[in-house]
Amino acid sequence: MVVISQVIGHRVTGLYVGANNVRRFFPRRMTQIEIQLDHLRIECGLGPAFWRDRPEIDDPRLCLWLESKQRNGNGHAPPPMELTPSGNDSFILGLAKSENASSHFDEAGDFNEDPRLDD
């Protein structure tokens, strides 16, 4: 699934998953998930707001990793990321392949959460 960093100014505040991806990939019984970031594995909690009105993951270690990926980019919008299920409550996060990510952004470069585009 294609996801994107939540950014305020130059600070990453979380990973925006989107309501459609939450419904599709995250059973409500999940209270935490494991995410593999390159060679690092972290556990991130999922609070009630994740399913209600704030479909993002906001772990400090995740934000630091996302900021490092953003710094390696061209300084424009955060690069689209791909969150791939890899087992029970486990995911791998990495840069999205351009062909998977391009359809998730409109002409202005804004993230499009169209349910027909979920990967």
Output the pLDDT for position 80.
85
CA distance 29 to 46: 10
Instruction: Give the DSSP H/E element, type plus range, for residue 33.
Output: strand 32-37
Residues in contact with 6: Cβ distance below 8 Å, sequence separation at least 6, in sequence order? 12, 13, 14, 15, 16, 56, 58
Output the pLDDT for position 9.
82
- pLDDT by residue for the chain (119 residues), tens only, comes to 999 999 888 788 999 999 999 999 999 899 999 999 999 999 999 999 999 999 999 999 999 999 888 765 555 667 789 999 998 899 999 988 865 555 554 444 445 654 444 44
CB atoms within 10 A of CB 6: 20
Could you tell me if 68 and 11 are in contact, meaning their C-beta atoms sit under 8 angstroms apart? no
- Give the strands of the sheet with 2-8, arranged side by side: 40-45, 32-37, 90-95, 81-85, 2-8, 11-16, 56-57
Which residues, in sequence order, are bridge partners of residue 94?
Answer: 82
CB atoms within 10 A of CB 86: 12
Output the pLDDT for position 1.
92
This model's pTM is above 0.85: no
